[in-house]
């Protein structure tokens, strides 16, 4: 994602935060085996937010743009996270044992803790990653 001609600070930060996009998940068909289980999935598109995180695809590759306003979006998304959690587990987010969030930064994790009324220790795995 790094583009040497992008001299704006947000371009450098965006490449540093999101340029390493990789993930892995080991899945098994045995429902009785120990380990984590995916109980539900969901997604929510926050209206009028497409400017928060954007890729421009050019001949030189991906050019990433990150709007600072994304930091203020958690208060708008948190109610939907709470609703999905309650529909799935019949409990509030604060009652979950732990969370793994891939947010790109400490400030958004702090907002998740605040908006979902979470104990700070419950996001320790996210802070350590």
pLDDT over 70 for what percent of the chain?
88
At the second CATH level, the architecture of 9-128 is 3-Layer(aba) Sandwich (3.40)
The more confident residue out of 17 and 64 is 64
The pLDDT assigned to 33 comes to 80
pLDDT higher than threshold 80 for residue 13 = no
pLDDT higher than threshold 80 for residue 124 = yes
The pLDDT assigned to 98 comes to 79
Residues 6 or more apart in contact with residue 93 via CB below 8 angstroms: 81, 82, 85, 99, 116, 117, 118
The pLDDT assigned to 66 comes to 80
The more confident residue out of 121 and 30 is 121
The pLDDT assigned to 18 comes to 65
pLDDT higher than threshold 70 for residue 72 = yes
The pLDDT assigned to 17 comes to 67
Number of neighbouring beta carbons within 10 Å of residue 86: 13
The pLDDT assigned to 116 comes to 95
- Residue spans of the domains in the chain: they are 9-128
For range 92-113, the mean pLDDT: 86
- SS3 string, 51-77, reads CCEEEEEECCEEEEEECHHHHHCHHHH
């Amino acid at each position: 994602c790094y583009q040497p001609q992008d001299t704006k600070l947000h371009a450098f930060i965006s490449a540093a935060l999101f340029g390493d996009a990789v993930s892995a998940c080991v899945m098994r068909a045995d429902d009785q085996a120990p380990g984590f289980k995916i109980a539900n999935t969901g997604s929510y598109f926050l209206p009028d937010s497409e400017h928060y995180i954007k890729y421009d695809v050019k001949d030189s590759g991906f050019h990433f743009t990150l709007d600072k306003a994304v930091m203020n979006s958690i208060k708008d998304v948190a109610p939907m996270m709470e609703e999905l959690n309650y529909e799935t587990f019949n409990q509030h987010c604060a009652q979950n044992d732990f969370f793994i969030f891939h947010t790109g930064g400490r400030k958004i994790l702090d907002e998740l803790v605040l908006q979902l009324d979470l104990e700070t220790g419950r996001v320790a795995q996210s802070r350590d990653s």
